[in-house]
């Protein structure tokens, strides 16, 4: 056990996200093609969850991110999200509609969308050369009614939010966890953003996957401080406690 780090006023929850539209974010970009990976980075989730925090709402200002400025102001922390097949045990991830849970099957998790456009570099050439050579390509979107899971610490989580490049709608189902704070060697039950790990947390093993803006660590084994939670079915969930100063407004008590 370690000293209590999470504020007593914070909620620690298991959250299921079910897409209600095509979801797109560019994890791998090859110029004329782009596609997401089957994980969602936690910063995208945190911006979606903390939309009511006026200090982090701004007009798009070029391509410059503001993570160091924004993250300490947010009131809900989220881990990266994975699809339920990533979880080593069994979790009931079927979305609830009314009183019933519904299971969906998908022939493919991705839908390919093709595009063609006239690039600015070609505008001067086409009239003089009397040719029509638009740029073509494609991108993959995650299909509707896919489910992801992740963990949150902090204020109450909304039941719906918008996420991704097109602000696709998604529904959230929240399960409160009974938690303990521990220290030692452990296996997280979710992907890990390595940028968020404190310096005294050691990475024993794991594999990296590219997921801009930060790589994710999968199937990890770590040694350090972590939260262990239990859901209503008695299933255990574990995720590392991140840097306190990076998320000052969420999980760390003063002092």
**Which DSSP category does 108 fall into?**
-
Q: Is the dihedral of CA 124, 29, 23, 75 positive or negative?
A: negative
Task: With residue 221 as reference, give the H or E element that holds it.
Answer: strand 216-230
* pLDDT, tens digit (0-9, with 9 covering 90-100), for 220-229: 999 999 999 9
| pLDDT higher than threshold 60 for residue 151 | yes
* pLDDT, tens digit (0-9, with 9 covering 90-100), for 2-53: 444 555 567 899 999 999 898 888 777 766 677 778 899 999 999 999 987 7
Instruction: Assess contact for 140 and 110: CB atoms under 8 A.
Output: yes
What is the DSSP track for 226-239?
EEEEE-TT--EEEE
Mean pLDDT (whole number) for 188-199: 95
């Amino acid at each position: 056990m370690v000293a209590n780090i999470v504020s007593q006023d914070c909620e620690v929850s298991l959250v299921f996200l079910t897409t209600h539209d095509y979801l797109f974010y560019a994890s791998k970009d090859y110029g004329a093609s782009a596609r997401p990976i089957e994980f969602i980075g936690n910063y995208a989730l945190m911006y979606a969850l903390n939309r009511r925090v006026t200090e982090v709402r701004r007009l798009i200002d070029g391509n410059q991110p503001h993570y160091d400025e924004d993250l300490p102001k947010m009131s809900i922390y989220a881990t990266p999200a994975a699809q339920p097949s990533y979880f080593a045990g069994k979790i009931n991830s079927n979305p609830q509609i009314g009183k019933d849970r519904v299971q969906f099957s998908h022939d493919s998790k991705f839908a390919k969308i093709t595009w063609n456009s006239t690039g600015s570099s070609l505008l001067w050439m086409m009239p003089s050369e009397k040719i029509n050579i638009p740029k073509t390509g494609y991108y993959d979107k995650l299909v509707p009614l896919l489910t992801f899971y992740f963990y949150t610490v902090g204020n109450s989580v909304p039941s719906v939010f918008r996420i991704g490049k097109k602000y696709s709608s998604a529904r959230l189902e929240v399960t409160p966890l009974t938690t303990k704070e521990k220290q030692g060697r452990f296996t997280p039950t979710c992907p890990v953003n390595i940028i968020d790990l404190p310096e005294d947390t050691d990475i024993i093993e794991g594999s990296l996957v590219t997921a801009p803006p930060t790589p994710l660590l999968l199937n990890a084994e770590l040694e350090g401080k972590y939260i262990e939670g239990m859901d209503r079915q008695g299933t255990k969930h574990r995720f590392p406690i991140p840097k306190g100063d990076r998320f000052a407004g969420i999980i760390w008590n003063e002092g």
